[in-house]
């Protein structure tokens, strides 16, 4: 039987960006995409996933390009239910496309790929002591970065550039600022960044650029052989 892949997202993610990386390994009609909130309005998303007192919050992008804050606990519970459903349906690989780290997700039979468990040590092995500059879209994401990149030999430097509401020049300015501070590898750490953003930085600034969703898609494609 041909391998099967399920892509699980929280909000809106440009799945079309990673499809070319997977198409050679699994037919597109054997790839299933489930989004928890991608088709919800702001009111619907907050009604189901809105934070309650004591809950941690996380950001997600809706189809109207609005970023909202939702409960990490409620989101993780919903993700686990979706994983169990996909696992029971016999998918070989379940790829979670999210920049947030969850701690309780698990699958019984499927291979579950969680970028935030995989990407930091993978990047650490790639950069091997080089100074990394991490670009994120909004200040709220900076609070989770220090723990996430603790595996790097040199603590990364950070800059902001919003791929949704910002411009190409904003991205170039962020990259240039990091390079001036001594960065020699850039990391685009948000699912809103696409290959066009990576290509722009590499061409204009002549610096290696890593894109988190491309790294995990390549890994998924290897597991689907």
* The pLDDT value given to residue 24: 63
* The pLDDT value given to residue 194: 84
User: What is the rounded distance in angstroms from the CA atom of residue 66 to the CA atom of residue 87?
Assistant: 31
* The pLDDT value given to residue 217: 80
* The pLDDT value given to residue 216: 81
Could you state, in chain order, the average pLDDT of each consecutive group of 10 residues for the chain (225 residues)? 81 78 71 91 96 92 90 96 95 88 91 88 88 90 84 93 89 96 93 88 94 81 73
* The pLDDT value given to residue 3: 63
């Amino acid at each position: 039987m041909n391998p099967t892949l399920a892509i699980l997202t929280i909000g809106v993610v440009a799945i079309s960006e990673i499809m070319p990386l997977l198409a050679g390994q699994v037919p597109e009609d054997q790839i299933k995409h489930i989004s928890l909130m991608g088709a919800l309005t702001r009111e619907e998303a907050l009604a189901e996933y809105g934070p309650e007192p004591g809950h941690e919050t996380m950001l997600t992008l809706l189809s109207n390009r609005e970023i909202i804050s939702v409960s990490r606990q409620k989101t993780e519970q919903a993700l686990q239910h979706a994983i169990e459903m996909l696992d029971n349906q016999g998918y070989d690989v379940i790829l979670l496309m999210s920049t947030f780290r969850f701690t309780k997700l698990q699958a019984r039979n499927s291979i579950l790929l969680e970028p935030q468990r995989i990407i930091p040590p993978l990047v650490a092995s790639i950069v091997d002591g080089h100074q990394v500059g991490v670009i994120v879209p909004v200040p709220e994401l900076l609070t989770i970065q220090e723990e996430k990149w603790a595996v790097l030999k040199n603590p990364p430097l950070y800059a902001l550039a919003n791929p949704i509401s910002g411009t190409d020049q904003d991205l170039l300015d962020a990259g240039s600022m990091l390079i001036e501070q001594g960065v020699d590898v850039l990391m685009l750490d948000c699912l809103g960044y696409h290959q066009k953003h990576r290509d722009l930085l590499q061409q204009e600034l002549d610096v290696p650029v890593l894109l988190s969703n491309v790294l995990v898609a390549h890994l998924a494609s290897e597991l689907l052989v």
